[in-house]
Chains A and B, each alone.
Chain A
Amino acid sequence: MASILFLVIAAIGLATALGTVLSRNLVRAGLYLVAFFFAIACLFVLLEAEFLAAIQVLVYIGAVAILLMFGIMLTRDTLGDDTTAIPVGWMIPGLFGGLCVFTVLAVGINNSIAPSGWTPWSGTTSRPSIIKQESDPEPAWVAERREAVNDMGRVIGVELMTRYVVAFELAGLLLTAALVGAIALAHRADSAPKPPRSVEQAAGSGPGADPPSEAGEPVASSLSP
């Protein structure tokens, strides 16, 4: 039962990934990507990481995909030529290359060497059980994992605040930096003639207000080639 569910979800995932990569229409590619993200979220549920699935949907579909859609809409090609498709001549070699990469990876996965004493990936046909056995004593990590799987939100919270606190704070700082940087990039330069660069000739004028021009660049002379 679980296997059939997995096969269906995996098929949907791969099909939508192909759709994203091969589709001519960017908006359609974006929608395929949303479906791909959702398939990944379903896989996370199959792997008993439901909290992660929720985060995947909220962040990837709710933020990243929306942002990509906005980007697509704001960068519609106005010069008329179609740059959004894969050049036809490259399609077959590209797909063939992809197939080669997949083959190499699949062979590697199949013949992977596990550290001594552990079962290799190809031999791992079922996940370690975390069901509480009354009879045999269990290793400590099983109890820990059972707690993690059953109460994932809290355990993630605890881990992020203790063991991975540095990574967590770095992620916060990263988001701040991305925010500050993106705003600085989007901040429109004023259309005054290019200011002199050296310190001595500085005119000392502050950034002038500029009536926003329609998706346009300021006067062309202010740009250097």
Chain B
Amino acid sequence: MNNDIPLNWFLYFAAASFAIGLVGVMLRRNAIAVLMAIEIILNAANVNLVAFWRYGTPAPGSGPLPGVILAILVITVAAAEVAVGIGLILLCYRRWRVADVDRYDTMSG
């Protein structure tokens, strides 16, 4: 198709999402907000993977859909990570009553 979407557009979108997620990770102080920003970065990587899969010519031996399989597994890992993260955040919240990453600083040095 000659009116197809160029590959670069997908990559720019993913890069922009990555940058936004990175800004969120650096700037937000609430642990759950940081978790949300991490999810944005993971989704940007997923878009990258699937775009590279569709637009690239595959090398032999990797199968017909390495990018998509990796994207599915990343979604799985992200779900597990969020579950563990919410568990840890709730654990700390019970103790300190806030979910602020800067507040958790009893250790120093």
Contact = CB atoms under 8 A, between A and B. Distances in A.
Interface residues of A, number: 97
A109 B8 contact: yes
Contacts, number: 265
Interface in A92-113: 94-95, 97-99, 101-102, 105-106, 109-110
B76 A174 contact: yes
B37 A167 contact: no
A43 B20 contact: no
Residues of B contacting A: mostly: helix
Interface residues of B, number: 82
B17 A14 contact: yes
A91 B24 CA distance: 10
Residues of A contacting B: mostly: helix
Contacts of B56: 118, 124
Interface of B: 1-13, 15-24, 26-33, 35-37, 39-40, 43, 46-47, 50-51, 53-58, 60, 63-65, 68-69, 71-73, 75-84, 86-91, 93-95, 97-100, 102-103, 106
Given A21-B33, A181-B87, 6 more contacts: A21-B40, A40-B43, A68-B35, A98-B20, A109-B12, A148-B64
12 contacts: A14-B20, A26-B33, A36-B43, A47-B51, A75-B89, A102-B18, A109-B11, A121-B8, A128-B57, A145-B64, A159-B69, A217-B95
